[in-house]
Amino acid sequence: VSASLKTSNTLAGWGRMPVVPGTERRSEDLRALTAAQHLSRGLGRSYGDSSLPAAGDLEVATTTLADRILSFDEDTGILRAEAGLSLREIYRLFLTRGWFTPVTPGTQFVTLGGMVAADVHGKNHHRDGCFGAHVTELLMRVADGRLVTCSPTVETELFRATVGGMGLTGHILEVAFRMARVPSPWLWCESQRVRDIDEFIDGLKAASAEWPMTAGWIDCLTGGRHLGRGILIKGRWATPAEAPAHPPRPRKRLTIPFEFPRFVLGPLSIKAFNTLFYWQPLPTGVVHPESSFYPLDVLRDWNRMYGRGGLTQHQCVLPNEAGRGAARRFLEVLVARGGASFLCVIKDCGPEGVGLLSFPRPGISIALDIAVRKDTQELIDALNECVIKEGGRIYLAKDAFTRPEHFRAMEPRLPEFLRVRRRWDPEGKFRSAQSVRLFGDAPRTTGSPT
């Protein structure tokens, strides 16, 4: 096939930055597709370079056509599917039947394979942990070409390195996990205005003791006395008595048709948005699951709002041991740098999961959407230095800017992960642009396989 017939020859993550040379290969047959590839990619919702090929690799195996549900046991709730099945399909097919994934991230446009690779978490992390905690088995293609089944009890090391391992231990072909029973397809939410960061953290901890889902939005342009003011949201599944009789209708989606010019998400408009958002009337009651779980999914291609430069996200967890002041110190760094963030989400995390590199640990997680500008590298560096000082760490699925020395300083778990990975992939077949940047993988030299 001549080069001119290939699809567009660049790839990017959800942040549209960085952009690297690369082509997605797709097939319904993952076993055939993955035989010659060095990285799998799902729906491309990781923000940075996690799903991008390492320099010299040029292709990734995109799993989205492999989306069959292979089995579902109504008694145990265990669902087994090919890795390209999207959360949106699971949501569409199962929610009205009283089942849902035990954990959902903030978008439905992710694949099961991606949910395992990033070991995603949701608003219920303090109670139910990461997605990996509910995975019962994975079928993988490992570096020597074999198909290997791993689980919490079989090939445990491979399993623990793959959950949260960003696709660097092999291709995930099939995922089996335990679905959760839900009393209705609707949610019950309550919100409260919070005046500053200390009140926020106390509020989150108190809410988490009683509510299965908690999260908060922070106005991160306001400093001083009201640093960290925002809205704390608490939720649970609505009971059948509370829920409307009809199932939630699929929401209409709007498309952001073009890249917005820079001023649209500039400090002034964010300030105005934040003030309005903070003072909005706070509803209590039954909420559409999509508007609660996936507020941004109604805007197709919302990443275009961030303009040509793209966006990045910085998400870190600051451990409980660092004390209540850690979040305040982190926000002070952000506010001092004027790092206007349109979206700042705070959430308390529960215990660490099974994955050797899984992101969450007991503490406070803060996620910031940041439009990429000239000074973004310095901003991320400053935030990371604060994270290191507090003993926290960052979420790889969001990252595009972290320096390798910073990553090593915040990840004492990295050597153990690399050891297991070397055992399964001694020649370093699997790699991504991110693993080259952060883990010290060598980019592939074109030509001879040396």
Partner 1 sequence: MKVAILGATRGIGRAIARRLAERGDTVFLLGRDETDLNQSASDLKIRAGKPEAVAGVATCDLEEPGSFAPALDRAEATLGKIDAVVVTAALFATQDRLEADPDFTRRLLTVNFANTVVFCEEARRRLLAKGGGTLCVFSSVAGERGRKPAILYGASKAGLSQYLEGLDHKFHAKGLRTICVKPGFVKTGMTEGLRQPPFAGEPDQVAVDVCRAIDRGRPVVYTPRIWALVMFVIRLLPRFVMRRIGF
> Helix axis angle, 197-210 relative to 325-336, nearest 10°?
130
Which of 20, 56, 72, 136 forms a contact with partner 1 (CB under 8 A)? 72
Among 20, 21, 28, 180, binds partner 1 (CB under 8 A): 28
Should residue 2 be labelled a site residue for partner 1 when binding is judged by CB under 8 A?
yes
CA atoms 400, 402, 407, 411: torsion sign: negative
Residues 6+ apart with CB under 8 A from 19: 10, 11, 12
In 211-342, alpha helices (H): 267-279, 289-293, 325-336
> What's the min distance (Å) between Cβ of 65 and partner 1?
6
Residue 398 in tokens: 């969001």
The Cα–Cα gap between 132 and 383 comes to 28
Does residue 228 come out as left (phi exceeding 0), alpha (psi in the -120 to 50 range) or beta? left
The answer to whether residue 7 forms part of the interface with partner 1 (CB under 8 A) is: yes
Count residues contacting partner 1 (CB under 8 A)?
21
CB of 8 to partner 1, least distance (A): 8
| Smallest separation (angstroms) from partner 1 to the CB of 67 | 8
Is residue 36 at the binding interface for partner 1, with CB under 8 A as the rule?
A: no
CB of 372 to partner 1, least distance (A): 27
Among 10, 36, 68, 308, binds partner 1 (CB under 8 A): 68
Within 13 Å and on the Cβ side, how many CA atoms surround 240? 6
Position 153 contacts partner 1 (CB under 8 A): no
The DSSP element (H or E) to which 72 belongs, if any, is: strand 69-72
Q: Determine, following the binding rule CB under 8 A, whether residue 257 of this chain makes contact with partner 1.
A: no
Give residues 292-331 in contact with partner 1 (rule: CB under 8 A): none
Closest CB to partner 1 among 59 and 390?
59
Gap between the Cα atoms of 222 and 82, Å rounded: 45
Among 44-52, 69-77, 118-126, 329-337, the segment contacting partner 1 (CB under 8 A):
69-77
Q: Which residues of 123-143 are buried (b: 16+ CB within 10 A; e: fewer)?
A: bbbbebbbbbbbbebbbbbbb
Stretch that binds partner 1, among 40-48, 70-78, 235-243, 316-324 (CB under 8 A): 70-78
User: In this chain, which stretch among 24-32, 129-137, 277-285, 322-330 interacts with partner 1, using CB under 8 A?
Assistant: 24-32
Listed ranges 27-35, 202-210, 268-276, 422-430: which one lies at the site for partner 1 (CB under 8 A): 27-35
Q: Which residues bind partner 1 (CB under 8 A)?
A: 1-2, 4-8, 23, 25-29, 65, 68-72, 93, 97
